[in-house]
Amino acid sequence: MSEAWKELERQTARALGGRRHLRRHYGEAGGDIDLPENARIVVEVKYRGSGFPFPSAFLDGLNQAARAGPDKVPVLVLKAKRMRGALVCLHLEDFVKLLNGEEEDHAATDPSTPSA
């Protein structure tokens, strides 16, 4: 099995000034990257060898990150094999809140919020 997903988590952690989160159980809440307590985001990282089925992979990744709690904005980092660089995906409402410095619950906590 490829170790590319672990390397993407390490690269993402370095870029964000954090560390790769080593999970004891794959079902535990939280992101793949340990960031400082005052970080407003929680990051989930997804690597695929054959591209992404859109939009299900995006929404699944954001929902997985959102389980960390309503005080963090869920952010998804995506990369496919042979893809140059990685993409960052988040709800538009959350992006606007981050840009404006707002401290409200993220969009993923409201199931009626339209997505992608």
For residues 48 and 22, the model is more confident at 48
Number of Cβ within 10 Å of residue 71's Cβ equals 12
Q: Whole-prediction pTM value? A: 0.76
Domains and CATH numbers, the chain: 4-109 (3.40.1350)
What percent of the chain is predicted at pLDDT more than 70? 79
Taking 70 as the threshold, does the pLDDT of residue 114 lie above it?
no
DSSP structure class, residue 24: S
The secondary element (H helix, E strand) that includes residue 7 is: helix 4-16
Q: Are 45 and 30 in contact (CB under 8 A)?
A: no
For residue 80, list its beta bridge partners: 48
Q: How far apart are CA 84 and CA 69, in angstroms?
A: 31
Summarised one tens digit per residue, pLDDT across range 52-86 is 676 777 788 888 888 877 888 999 999 988 889 99
